[in-house]
Amino acid sequence: MSTILVRFIIIKGNTMNVTFTCKYNIGEYVYHATPESDKGLIIDIHYSAIKGVKYEVVFGRLGNDNVYCYEHELSKEKSF
């Protein structure tokens, strides 16, 4: 787990700091919740104040299949 600080600039220089905790880190290998999932590598983490944390994951051997996933869609172990 990692903690990330996000700074929002609201209006005319006013700022708001938000801290959130991620279940996974950039560089970790994960699987999608579907049984046929290949191993994926987390390459980026996105935060939305409305939707929460989203991970950009590359699946497949060629690394050309980027997918955005929420925490509940990912696992460190392959599901069968």
62 within 8 A of 44, measured Cβ to Cβ? no
Side-chain-side CA neighbours of 39 within 13 Å: the count stands at 6
pTM for this model (two decimals): 0.75
Question: What CATH topology corresponds to 25-80?
Answer: SH3 type barrels. (2.30.30)
3-class secondary structure, 73: helix
18 within 8 A of 41, measured Cβ to Cβ? no
- Domain residue spans in the chain? 25-80
Supply the pLDDT for residue 65: 74
Encode pLDDT of 21-68 as tens digits: 788 999 999 999 988 888 999 999 988 878 888 999 998 776 677 899
Q: What is the C-alpha R_g of the chain? A: 15
| Dihedral of the alpha carbons of 20, 73, 60, 55, in degrees to the nearest 10 | -20
